[in-house]
Amino acid sequence: MRIPVVVSKIIQETPHVKRFTLKPQLDQSLPRFHPGAHILTYLHSGSECFVRSYSLTNCPSHDYYEIAILKKVRGSGGSSCWHEHVKRGQTLTISYPRNFLHPDLSAKHHVFYAGGIGITPFLSMMRWCRKRGASFELHYSAKTKHDCAFYEYINREHPDQTTFYFTREGERIDPGLVKQHRIGTHLYICGPESFQNEIKTAALHTGYPKGSVHLESFVQLHSDGFNNPFTARLEEKIINVNQEDTLLDALNKEGAGIPFSCRMGQCGTCEVAVKKGDIVHRDSFLTEEERCSRMLPCVSRGEGVIEISMK
Ligand code: FES
């Protein structure tokens, strides 16, 4: 189910990041959300519909949602469409808020590692920590102060908990820092894939339990960077999926006619049922329960031989 919203305000946060305020239409209200939540936005441009995930950056008690979008130079068009075509007063639809990342209630200390626009899910999580008196710190890396989204806000609200690293000034987050956090710390990492992998690897080598290291799911797609070939059975057909192809592409080359939209595991349009076999799930759409019997072939893959159906 989708929610219609109106773009009520647009702020140029940095030269490459814009903030968009989304308000409900007329007498409607928006569902409450939890810290770390994100929404899917459905933005139409000509015959295309860009489906993208964005974290909610505002306070959950507000009667609106706010998202912040980095314009990607070599992206697939979604962020450019937001930056270049979306105007105040425009209407669009969004999903209900979803949470794959949230503060762990058992943590004795929360440490947020943000790379660039990866700061966005942490804004509401840090507010939550402050409100509950939970101990936290932020390590935030950006190219320059000028490119650092929410720099003034963070400096004002969390000056004692934050360390900024400006890479153009030769500063960088040392993954070895994870050794210095006390026992019972939970790590939350969001940023470019290499940034996430570096910190996650350092944490696991240091001995953090897997459950204490949290990555923002919608940027961890393809995180192992490796695609095994595998075989899929669909009714009478046997389809070999090579390393370069997605299962979606392989199925549609065989004439399966599976509909799709985002091709990023975010919208659920390409969902198929899994009857047999092991799946490597790489989407940010299905719940753990749904993953027992469903998969999104635009990003997820099988291991060995799997059996799927369109139902
Ligand atoms: S096309 Fe959107 S999840 Fe596969």
pLDDT tens by residue, 149-166: 999 999 999 999 999 999
- Provide the pLDDT for residue 78: 86
List the single range of 11-20, 45-54, 199-208 with lowest mean pLDDT: 45-54
Q: Which atom of ligand 1 is nearest to the CA of 248?
A: 4
Please write the tens of the pLDDT for every residue from 219-268. Answer: 433 333 456 889 999 988 999 998 778 899 999 999 999 988 777 777 78
What is the CA(14)–ligand 1 centre distance, in A? 30
Cα separation, 172 vs 175, whole angstroms: 9
Helix residue ranges, H only, 147-298 = 151-157, 193-206, 247-253
- Cβ 267 under 6 angstroms from ligand 1: yes
**15-52 per-position pLDDT tens digit:** 999 999 999 988 889 999 999 999 989 898 887 788 88
Is the CB of 97 inside a 6 Å radius of any atom of ligand 1?
A: no
Question: What is the DSSP pairing of strand 213-215 with strand 185-190?
Answer: parallel
Among the atoms of ligand 1, which is closest to the Cα of residue 283?
3
User: What phi, psi does 286 have (nearest 5°)?
Assistant: -80, 150
Phi, psi of 204 (to 5 degrees): -70, -35
The encoded tokens of residue 175 equal 């993954």
**Number of C-beta neighbours around residue 88 at 10 A:** 11
Q: How far is CA 64 from CA 3, 23, 83, 155, 310, in A?
A: 12, 5, 20, 24, 37
pLDDT of 211 higher than 70: yes
Collapsing DSSP to helix, strand or coil, 296 comes out as: coil
Q: Please, are residues 190 and 196 in contact by the beta-carbon 8 Å criterion?
A: yes
**From CA 109, how far away is CA 5, in angstroms rounded?**
36
76's CB contacts (< 8 A; 6+ apart) are: none
Would you list the DSSP string of 203-238? HHHHT--GGGEEE-GGG-TTTT-----EEEEETTEE
Closest alpha carbon to 310 in 279, 272, 257:
272
The domains found in the chain, sorted by start residue, are 3-94 (2.40.30.10), 109-219 (3.40.50.80), 230-309 (3.10.20.30)
The single-letter code of the amino acid at 52 is R
Ligand 1 atom closest to Cα of residue 51: 2
**How far away, in angstroms, is 268 Cα from ligand 1 center?**
5
By most ligand atoms within 8 Å of CB, the mutation choice from 249, 290, 298, 301 for ligand 1 is 298
Cβ 167 under 6 angstroms from ligand 1: no
Looking from the CA of residue 260, the nearest atom of ligand 1 is 1
Distance from C-alpha of 112 to C-alpha of 196, rounded to nearest angstrom: 11
35 CA → ligand 1 middle, Å: 25
In contact, 31 and 62? CB cutoff 8 Å: no
With the C-alpha atoms ordered 259, 262, 264, 269, is the resulting torsion angle positive or negative? negative
DSSP helix/strand/coil, 130? helix
Given pLDDT bands bounded at 50, 70 and 90, which one contains residue 75? low
Q: Is the CB of 260 under 6 A from ligand 1?
A: yes
285 CB less than 6 Å from ligand 1? yes
Determine whether the shortest distance from the Cβ of 298 to ligand 1 is under 6 A.
yes
256 contacts: CB under 8 Å, gap ≥ 6? 234, 237, 310
- ipTM confidence score: 0.99
Write down the pLDDT at residue 286.
Answer: 81
178 touches 203 (CB < 8 A): yes
pLDDT for 216: 77
Q: Which of 42, 260, 272, 287 to mutate to test the pocket of ligand 1 (most atoms within 8 A of CB)?
A: 260
**How many angstroms separate the CA atoms of 100 and 288, rounded?**
10
Instruction: Give yes or no for residue 269 CB within 6 A of ligand 1.
Output: yes
- For residue 86, the CA-to-ligand 1 centroid distance in Å is 23
Q: Is the CB of residue 67 below 6 angstroms from any atom belonging to ligand 1?
A: no
